[in-house]
């Protein structure tokens, strides 16, 4: 779907295409912009420190060159692209960078990042891979370490009030995203998948307050639409990791499908869970990032003792979304070399079968060059379910 060149969405498009435009300005004004990757970096702490969290993105249009001279090509291609753009100084306006323990690709390339980029601040946040009382406690300590290191870097204490306030604005942001998703429930949806993902991606390049007002504008605009500008078509759920380039979603929509929901990182995985607003803020954050974010990286033990029960536990949110958004089919989009998602493909396939939702599994390498091949697969899939 091509975008309406008006109001909110034209701003969105600008921020999406010239990604980092606003952050560059803010940096020039003397603000500290802290880059991050993955859903596991607690943005609230960065916001509370007075710095601006900025999600580092890859580009499927830019061939990976310099990055490959420092990093093996057996790293997940999405992550290699982020690294490549960073060493090519696309994000030269960053003051620092935070990398979490999201997956092997992130852990093993941390040295290459931290020595490869000339940034004065670098921090690694370890994330437990199990979710229980002792790991929440450990994670809390790890978050405090992060907090202290940011304090040292910015020269300013991060108080409980700062954290509470940050939690509040970030939660607001998530409420707005939820509201945007509500517009996808009609058939055809009022907002296209392309527009939505572009909006969320644009938002992740802005200070949270600005992101909030951008989302507000988008909400007003979509609400004002009355009739959907879209055609009816199969309703598609996209399942996978980080999909920060819109081309895949665009392709699905161009071929007549409507992307109505997802589990991707810059979609529901990142934006749906909220932090508890009262109580100790660090505990609330530990709880949100470890327990509430549903990522294959976090091991969830099989409490049911049966395979069926286990996949219901692990992938239940997919079923919820599939029903809530009334989907006709799903695309499981996984990058080559991605261990956390890669190992779940067989179980996820079975889960989709149990939901009776047809599934297309795609393994891809994060390059615009593969869109031609994907086109045939996606078109055939839409023909199959249509």
Q: Which candidate, 104, 118, 91, places its Cα nearest to that of 38? A: 104
231 near another protein, judged by CB under 8 A: no
The correct pick among 2, 10, 14, 111 for binding another protein (CB under 8 A) is: 111
**CA 153 to each of CA 46, 50, 149: distance values in angstroms, whole numbers, following the listed order:** 11, 11, 6
291 near another protein, judged by CB under 8 A: no
The correct pick among 47, 59, 86, 149 for binding another protein (CB under 8 A) is: 149
Binding partner selected for residue 71 from another protein, ligand SF4, none, CB under the kind-specific 5 to 8 Å limit? another protein
Contacts for 171 with CB less than 8 Å, ≥ 6 apart: 274, 275, 277
321 near ligand SF4, judged by CB under 6 A: no
Q: Are 243 and 197 in contact (CB under 8 A)?
A: yes
341 near ligand SF4, judged by CB under 6 A: yes
Cα 97 off chain centre by: 17
> Segment 333-372, which members bind another protein (CB under 8 A)?
334, 336-337, 339-340, 342-347, 349-350, 358, 361, 363, 369-370
> Segment 253-272, which members bind another protein (CB under 8 A)?
none
Site string for ligand SF4, 220-249 (x = CB under 6 A): ---------------------xx-------
78 near ligand SF4, judged by CB under 6 A: yes
335 near ligand SF4, judged by CB under 6 A: yes
Residue 130 gets which letter from DSSP?
A: B
Write down the least CB distance from residue 156 to ligand SF4, Å: 31
100 near ligand SF4, judged by CB under 6 A: no
Write down the least CB distance from residue 136 to ligand SF4, Å: 22
Q: What is the largest CA-CA distance in the chain?
A: 59
**What stretches of 261-344 show up as alpha helix (H) in DSSP?**
270-271, 281-286, 307-324, 339-342
Q: 270: which 2 tokens?
A: 């990142």
Cα 278 to Cα 266: distance, rounded to the nearest angstrom: 26
379 near another protein, judged by CB under 8 A: yes
- What is the rounded end-to-end Cα distance, in angstroms, of the chain? 19
């Amino acid at each position: 779907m091509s975008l309406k060149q008006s109001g909110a969405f034209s701003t969105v498009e600008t921020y999406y295409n010239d990604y980092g435009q606003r952050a560059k300005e803010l940096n020039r004004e003397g603000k500290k912009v802290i880059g991050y990757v993955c859903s596991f970096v607690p943005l609230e702490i960065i916001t509370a420190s007075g710095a601006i969290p900025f999600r580092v993105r890859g580009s499927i249009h830019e061939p990976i060159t310099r990055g490959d001279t420092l990093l093996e090509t057996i790293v997940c291609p999405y992550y290699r692209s982020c690294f490549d753009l960073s060493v090519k100084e696309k994000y030269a306006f960053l003051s620092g960078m935070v990398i979490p323990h999201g997956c092997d690709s992130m852990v093993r390339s941390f040295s290459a990042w931290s020595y490869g980029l000339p940034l004065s601040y670098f921090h690694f946040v370890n994330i437990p891979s199990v979710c229980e009382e002792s790991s929440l406690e450990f994670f809390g300590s790890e978050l405090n370490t992060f907090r202290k290191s940011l304090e040292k870097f910015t020269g300013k204490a991060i108080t409980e009030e700062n954290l509470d306030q940050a939690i509040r604005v970030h939660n607001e942001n998530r409420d707005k995203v939820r509201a945007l998703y509500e517009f996808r429930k009609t058939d055809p949806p009022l907002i296209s998948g392309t527009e939505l993902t572009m909006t969320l991606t644009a938002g992740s390049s802005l200070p949270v307050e600005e992101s909030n007002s951008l989302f507000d504008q988008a909400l007003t605009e979509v609400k004002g639409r009355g009739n959907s500008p879209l055609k009816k078509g199969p309703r598609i759920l996209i399942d996978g990791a980080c999909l920060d380039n819109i081309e895949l979603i665009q392709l699905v929509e161009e071929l007549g499908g409507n992307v109505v929901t997802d589990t991707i990182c810059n979609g529901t995985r990142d934006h749906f869970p909220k932090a508890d607003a009262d109580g100790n803020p660090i505990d609330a954050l530990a709880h949100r990032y470890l327990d509430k974010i549903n990522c294959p990286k976090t091991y969830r033990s099989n409490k049911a003792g049966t395979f069926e029960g286990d996949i219901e536990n692990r992938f239940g949110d997919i079923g919820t979304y599939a029903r809530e958004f009334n989907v006709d089919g799903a695309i499981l989009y996984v990058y080559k070399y991605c261990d956390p998602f890669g190992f779940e493909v067989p179980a996820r396939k079975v889960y989709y079968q149990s939901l009776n939702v047809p599934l297309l599994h795609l393994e891809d390498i994060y390059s615009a060059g593969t869109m031609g091949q994907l086109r045939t697969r996606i078109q055939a899939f839409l023909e199959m379910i249509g």
